[in-house]
Each structure stands twice: as structure tokens, then as C-alpha cells.
Amino acid sequence: MENILEGVKDALILLTTLDPEFYTIVRLSLFVSLTATLLAAILAIPAGIVIGIKNFPGRKIIIRIVYTLMSMPPVVIGLIIFLLLLRNGPFGHFSLNFTPTAMIIAQFCLVTPIITGVVINGTKERGQDIRELARTLGASRSQTLWLLIRELRINIMTAVVTGYGRAISEVGAVMVVGGNIRGHTRVMTTTIAMLRNMGEYSLAIATGIVLLLISFIINSLLYYWQQER
Amino acid sequence: MKIQGTGITKVYNQKTVLDIDQFTFESGDFWGIIGPNGSGKSTLLRLISCLTEPSSGKITYELRDKGQAIKRSMTLVFQKPYLLRTSVYNNIAYPLQIRQVHPPEIRQKVEEMLTSFQIESLADQKAWTLSGGEAQKVALARALVFNPELIMLDEPTANIDPGSIMLLEDRLRFHYEKFKPTVLMVTHNLQQTKRLCSKVAFLHEGVIHDQGSIDNVFGPDGTSLVKSFIQQGLI
């Protein structure tokens, strides 16, 4: 309990003293997770809509694979990406291991199935009705897709927020591919894990509180945007 | 718009739900499509509106194959319409917006529809807060606002209040008399068919069993099957 109270105090100090190293960690955390979520959303939203409304051979097995990947342990994804990016691996010539780019790739792989799965669920429920309405009113293919995105926006927003939440809070994948290098690949979750190993519990709690606070602000902004529309 | 079909079948799960050798709906006719539940009425509308493909056969529109221009000149209103998650005004404006109609013209046409369907006061209301009757008025206004050449209606007045039914019928009749589109209306309401339609097609077990003018199909010369269904109150 003492550590938690100390943590709250340290969190306030961290936020108010404008410690440059801490702000570098926060900035990198946001950059990696938001970039990975954005890239995943660009791929996963149309994919989720198409899988949700179209009937094609293999659709059921694809949905099952997506749902399975939604619960893939981050550390396993991290390990696979790490091995693929190893110097003697298939993508070794890019020299991406222990860089923020590798962390973005790992989180992208983690978040894409989550956004796809949530969008598939929402689309299965109302997608067919929306698609048929668009067709009966004379919408083209692109107008139909845009209408689906507009009509399913709350579901899509939920998918993106869920994906972002998974990205910002995971530690396994970014630890494996990033290596928690100070000033280079250290993010908030890897910092918390490191501080815990060092016995710096209150500082670890403080970082966790800041992480929660940032998530709260981002979720509030998205919630506000969603309500406005 | 004249619609013709030849050798049309539709099979779902190895069951033939529609099997029509030939049909013709002439341009400017108001057809009532009647028949018991499961007779293939809604499937026929779904095929004509290109929502589903026939298992065999071909449908032509003004002797042309379906294309985007044809699809843009027809509409289908469902029994339970899907309204967009926006205001009533935006719902009615949507078909005009996707046709890149100029905003002042959109405003004028939408306002005309709001007045015509007596829903001016609902213009800014969110569509998901409407009652069944109000929702159906919005759906019909949205379908008529772009003046389609072919209007298909799948039980448009089922489960709504008598006042709304009267208004919808009145607006439909007004629009039909003014623009003379081809109208295909699936209905279980015999009186409504007689009030609105000039022609009627009776479907039974996926086959057009009888068709022609109201007087012919419902009159003394009508088939015994139609008479039997009417007597039993099955249509």
C-alpha cells in the first residue's frame, strides 16, 4: 500500500518536473502505439467489413483464424517478428530489430486481428441491411463502402480503441523486438517491467499511473468525438 | 421502365423458391404482387432489384441488361426499412447526395418531401427515435425523392397505424399519377391492392399462377385457386 501511495506522489512529480528522459519514453510509447493502431486500422477496417458482409468460400475458417489471433500472446508475436528480422532471417537485411520500426511491426501484428475481429462482429449484425439499402438507393461500390464505414462508425471506433488499448498496454512484444534500450526503444510498459526488476516499485507505479492517465485522455477524446457524431 | 424475365428460377438450399417461365411488367403499370407466405413474392422483388442473382434465367430492363444506370433508376422499400444513423433530413437527402445533385436543389426537394409526408417537424430528429409509421414515411420519402423509374415496395404498410397507411397510400398514388413510374408492390392487403393497383399477379409456390387486371383476377373469371385463397383470408 505504501508503494502505491508513494507511486501516486511520484507520478505527480514525474508529470510536473518535465523530466526529459521520462517525456522521451512517453513520446515513444505514443508514437509506436498510435502508428501501429493507425496502420492496422487502415488494413483491418475494410477487411473486417468485407469479411463481415461477403459470402465467399473459406470465410468461416478466416473468421475463426482472426478470432484465434485476437488472443495471441504478445510475447509470441514479438518472438516471431524478432526471428523474422534476425540478421540471418528472411528480413534480416533491413536491420530492424531493436528499433521503434520493429516495435511498430510487432504491435501492428498484434492489433490487426483485434480490430478486424471487432469490425467483423459489428458488420455481421447490420452490414447486410446497410449494403442492401445502399444498393436499393443506387449507391456505387465505393459509395456503399463509405456508407458502411459511416454507419458502423461506433463499432469501428470501439474496435480502434480496443486495438489501441491492447497496443499501449502490452509489454512482451516490444520488449522482445525493441530490447528496452534507453533513449531508443524504451517505452512505458518496458520501463515499468524494468523498474519492477530493479525493486523501484513506487516509480513503476508512477509510470503505470501516467500510462493510465494518457489512455484515459485518448479514450475520452475518442468518446467525445463519437458522441458528437 | 419495362421489366421482362424469362426462365427465372431461384434455388435456396436445394429448394426451388421461384420458377417463372416468363413475366412482363409494362412501363407505367402499378402492379400488386400477392400470394400466401412463402410464395416467392419478396424473392421476385429481390431478383428484379438486383439484390440477389437468379439461379437461372435473365431479367431485362427496357430490353437492356442490368447496369449501374439501371440500378440507379430503381428502388426497393422494405417492410422494416433501415434508416441511416442520422437525422430524418439527411436520410431523405442521401439518394440525392450520392447523385451529386446541387445542394440548393437537394434542400428544395427534401423540403418538398418533408411537407408532402407531413413530417416537417421531424426533419432534425434522429432517425432511430422514430415510430414504425414515421420510419416508413421517411423510407418512402427517401425512395421517391430521386424520382425512380421503377419503385418496388415489399409490404410497405404492414404493422403500421391506419392513419399512416392512408397517408402513405395517398402519397404513393399522387407520385404515381404525377410521374407514372412502374410500381411493383408486394402486399397481403387485398383492399389495398384494389385501391392502388391497376394490375395484379398472384404467386403460389414460386409460380405466377394468375395475372392481369384487378377485375380479371379478382372477378368472376378469376381462377378457383385465387378465389379459394381470398375466401380463406390467406391473402
ipTM of the complex: 0.90
Q: Which residues of B touch A129 (CB under 8 A)?
A: 82
Are β-strands B74-77 and B15-25 bridged in parallel, bridged antiparallel, or unpaired? unpaired
The answer to whether the CB of A132 falls within 8 A of the CB of B51 is yes
pLDDT of residue A8: 78
Please judge whether A151 and B73 are an interchain contact, meaning their C-beta atoms are less than 8 angstroms apart: no
If you measure CA to CA, which chain B residue comes closest to A228? B86
- Is A19 part of the contact surface with chain B (CB cutoff 8 Å)? no
> Testing the interface with B: which of A136, A149, A153 to mutate, by most B Cβ within 10 A?
A136
> Testing the interface with A: which of B43, B86, B94, B100 to mutate, by most A Cβ within 10 A?
B94
Element (H, E) at A142: helix A141-151
Confidence check: pLDDT of B23 > 60 = yes
If you measure CA to CA, which chain B residue comes closest to A130? B82
Averaged pLDDT for residues B62-87? 88
pTM of the full predicted structure? 0.82
Spatial strand order of the sheet with B3-12 comes to B15-25, B3-12, B56-61
Q: How far is B84 from chain A (nearest CA, A)?
A: 7
Are β-strands B199-204 and B3-12 bridged in parallel, bridged antiparallel, or unpaired? unpaired
Confidence check: pLDDT of B224 > 80 = no
Instruction: Compare CB distances from A133 to B71, B82, B148 and report the shortest one's residue.
Output: B82
- Is A125 part of the contact surface with chain B (CB cutoff 8 Å)? no
What are the pLDDT digits (tens) for A121-166? 999 889 999 999 999 999 999 999 999 999 999 899 989 999 999 9
Q: How far is A140 from chain B (nearest CA, A)?
A: 8
pLDDT of residue B143: 97
The answer to whether the CB of B179 falls within 8 A of the CB of B1 is no
